[in-house]
Chain A
């Protein structure tokens, strides 16, 4: 493998990621399943990096689940997104920071549609005005929140309390990166590094001391298609997509998977449990599963935040072996304690080690 070849491609796909003043739009799945990730995105940006991030409580779902599930028409989703733009316009923000890859894909698709078919923009303005009385300006930039962490990866590295290395041996951790399909497969130019060799997570991992695994099924989809996993009859092939990836990465003995998409993070985590139940197979070096972390969780660990505050315990595959390897002291007894010390209900069937 020649790293200069990848650098050549990365240089061709550099997008504009603003330095400050973001209008933040949340993800339906992430705030449910990895609530810590969104919380720590804000905390890292605001407190560690001193950036201005604005949130409007009137922001809603982008309706992407319905759109991809064939129940929300394109005109409707354009109007919903236009309303988000109107909220940003009203608050004086021109840069959108998008937490979800599905939303990011939808925003990209809509902006491209408006660019190539200006009449659809006019129609959307009309629809939004009729429905809500709002007007909006098309944002200057859209960034996925992984783009933003990518942009500040070196600053995070300078503040690092822990690195992605084996504390005992000093060797880099072996990390699998997984990019959501709608981050750059539809519009490679919107993704840092393009679609074939995305750099967005690679850059973070390398800046924080880890090694990236380039395994054969790296580009394969995790299987999270809304129309696929939502319909039970289709779920088998959705699941198979993840298993194909696990089998392909298994020989490399990865320490963790880092993902930038809500669906991928959830699937690759939860499916490990499902595969264990159906086929009796558990992946990972010691049969403890391969932890699947969001980039904010990884950034949070690097910055020295408490893993239980980050919410790692709410993954199906637990991260204790990973934390031990990184030299992070985390008391497993405190995993399911509430802030006041009372016990929270403990999830069943964790893959733990």
Chain B
């Protein structure tokens, strides 16, 4: 029972935790992506994809960070992120580990859609 009057009384509210709690996060999206695009496992977070990314020059889109969030089960930031990619495929050319990065984004978007329809 969130008491708005209480918060008003003090003029401040309780901050939310910024901590990733791995035990309460949802890793269904990770599992969905890994099973459909196994090369996703190979990312070692060099950031090459992000450096070359067209979307990343103009928006907050960051494939390297998105991969990390997916792995940790932090899907909230993902919903908006996946819509920013233009699927141009430049990241594919750069990736030193051969991750099918373009497909990772496509499958992530699919996973988010399914999640919203409770199909995951």
Contacts and interface: CB of A to CB of B under 8 A. Distances in A.
B12 A232 contact: yes
B15 A278 contact: no
B14 interface: yes
Contacts of A244: 17
Nearest to B13: A236
Contacts of A239: 12, 14-15
A230 to B, nearest CB: 12
Given A280-B1, A280-B2, A280-B3, A275 B9 contact: no
Interface string A111-147: 0000000000000000000000000000000000000
B11 A278 contact: no
Contacts of A277: 3, 6, 9-10
* Interface size class of chain A, counting residues whose CB lies under 8 Å from the partner chain: 10 to 19
B46 interface: no
Nearest to A247: B17
Secondary structure type dominating chain B contacts? loop
Given A232-B12, A274-B10, A240 B17 contact: yes
Secondary structure type dominating chain A contacts? helix
Given A278-B7, A278-B10, A237 B15 contact: yes
A237 B17 CA distance: 9
* Interface size class of chain B, counting residues whose CB lies under 8 Å from the partner chain: 10 to 19
B6 A278 contact: yes
A302 to B, nearest CB: 35
B44 to A, nearest CB: 30
B12 A235 contact: yes
Contacts of B10: 235, 274, 277-278
B3 A236 contact: no
Contacts of B15: 236-237, 239-240
Nearest to B5: A277
A279 B2 contact: yes
Contacts of B9: 277
Contacts of B12: 232-233, 235-236, 239
A47 B12 CA distance: 46
B13 A278 contact: yes
A94 interface: no
A237 B16 CA distance: 8
Interface string A199-240: 000000000000000000000000000000000110111011
A239 B9 CA distance: 15
Contacts of B14: 236, 239-240, 243, 275, 278-279
B16 to A, nearest CB: 8
A5 to B, nearest CB: 25
Contacts of A278: 2-3, 6-7, 10, 13-14
Interface in B14-51: 14-17
Interface in A269-289: 274-275, 277-280
A279 B14 CA distance: 9
22 contacts: A232-B12, A235-B12, A236-B12, A236-B13, A236-B15, A237-B15, A239-B12, A239-B14, A240-B15, A243-B14, A244-B17, A274-B10, A277-B10, A278-B3, A278-B6, A278-B10, A278-B13, A279-B1, A279-B2, A279-B6, A280-B1, A280-B2
Given A278-B3, A278-B14, 7 more contacts: A240-B16, A244-B17, A275-B14, A277-B6, A277-B9, A277-B10, A278-B6
Interface of A: 232-233, 235-237, 239-240, 243-244, 274-275, 277-280
Interface of B: 1-3, 6-7, 9-17
